Amino acid sequence: MQRLTISRNPSTDEGTTGDAVFPGWNGFSIELPWRDNAPDISCIPPGVYTATLVFSTKFNRHVYLLQNVPGRTACELHIGNWAGDTSLGYKSDVEGCTVFGTALGSLAGQTAVLNSETALNSLLAATGGADIEVEYRWK
């Protein structure tokens, strides 16, 4: 099984950015800040997880769903831009998921990934829809 590796930068209230690398593809990721793995407000704990391609009715498209994340359910890899701490007034497109972009930048004055749909489509093309491993680690 091929592996997507997400090497994270230090977490901030605006989110947790990282470099995402898969054979034949690379991009950037953003997740929620680290909040001790609390559901819906924290990024995913470091580790290696299997991800399967599923159809998301919420997004009306295929996304990857992580399996067996401790204390969590419905952790997906999908499109979006922001992953800030909403309790502090930041924007977020995730509730414990990971989104990808072709670049890191700023949208509306907040850290974000850019060109998310392009990034996810190219990742799906690189995986061919096969199950993959996703490794989350701190730099």
Residue 57 is predicted with a pLDDT of: 92
Give me the torsion for CA of 88, 93, 96, 99, rounded to 10°.
-130
Q: Which parts of 1-130 fold into alpha helices (H)? A: 116-127
Enter the tokens of residue 93.
């497109």
Enter the tokens of residue 80.
């979006």
pTM of the model: 0.95
Domain count, the chain: 1
Residue 19 is predicted with a pLDDT of: 98
Residue 41 is predicted with a pLDDT of: 97
Q: How far is the C-alpha of 43 from the C-alpha of 55, rounded, in Å?
A: 22
Burial class (CB in 10 A: 0-12, 13-18, 19+), 33: buried
Residue 27 is predicted with a pLDDT of: 98
Across 91-113, b (16+ Cβ under 10 Å) vs e yields: bbbbebbbbbbbebeeeeebbbb
Domain that holds residue 68: 3-138
Residue 15 is predicted with a pLDDT of: 98
Q: What is the pLDDT along the chain (139 residues), one digit of tens a residue?
A: 999 999 999 999 999 999 999 999 999 999 999 999 999 999 999 999 999 999 999 899 999 999 999 999 999 999 999 999 999 999 999 999 999 999 999 999 999 999 999 999 999 999 999 999 999 999 9
